[in-house]
A and B are shown apart, each in its own frame.
Chain A
């Protein structure tokens, strides 16, 4: 059971805006940066957002991240079929001295 909590699934239609949430605690999300990863079927994960709201080079600005208190969110605007993937949040936990991943959210583009 992950200490970072994500809804197991989300969905949207092409062009829509969807938000994926990640809930943690004071020892992880509240004190530390949140990273988001996208994993397309059969591939290795890809860094999508780092330091809670920064995009690596090459990641479209349709993807954005935010953090407030013990929660973080990933927003995807202008949803496209190629965005169908699993999305994971991750953060360092000061109490466990470990990186924690959320359980993942499977995004379906209808």
Chain B
């Protein structure tokens, strides 16, 4: 079955850190650009970051640049999002999603169900 399963969300204090993980199965992970997208419940989608298939190239939204780091381990079919200096405005449901390199870098055709991050004292 083709799927992405996120984990690692939870409650964290402002200024704290959290690492999200997303495990892929059912497709060739090493041929995929991997993205993180977040959504405050009831609000719109906001792109966070992406990493290329070999992990050597990354991009970030300005709102998280310098605080979040995306990485991947192709041997484990896993993409990570290390989040630090967390702020209340980072509170959201975090989705991981993939783009097939054979199609485009940014057409997200597989999505996980999301993991919730809450930043609060």
Contacts and interface: CB of A to CB of B under 8 A. Distances in A.
Interface of A: 2, 33, 35, 37, 39, 44-47, 50-51, 56, 86, 88, 90-92, 96-104
Contacts of B61: 98
B105 interface: yes
A20 to B, nearest CB: 14
Given A46-B111, A98-B59, A33 B44 contact: no
Contact of B44 (A35, A46, A97, A103): A103
A103 B107 CA distance: 17
Interface in B49-107: 50, 59-62, 95, 97, 103-107
A44 B62 contact: no
Interface in B16-62: 35, 37, 44-47, 50, 59-62
Contacts of A44: 95, 111-114
Given A45-B95, A51-B104, A101 B109 contact: no
B12 interface: no
A42 B15 CA distance: 29
A33 B99 CA distance: 13
A47 B61 CA distance: 21
A102 B46 CA distance: 9
A98 B97 CA distance: 15
B103 A50 contact: yes
Given A90-B47, A99-B50, A35 B59 contact: no
Interface core residue of A44, A92, A102 (most chain B CB under 10 Å)? A44
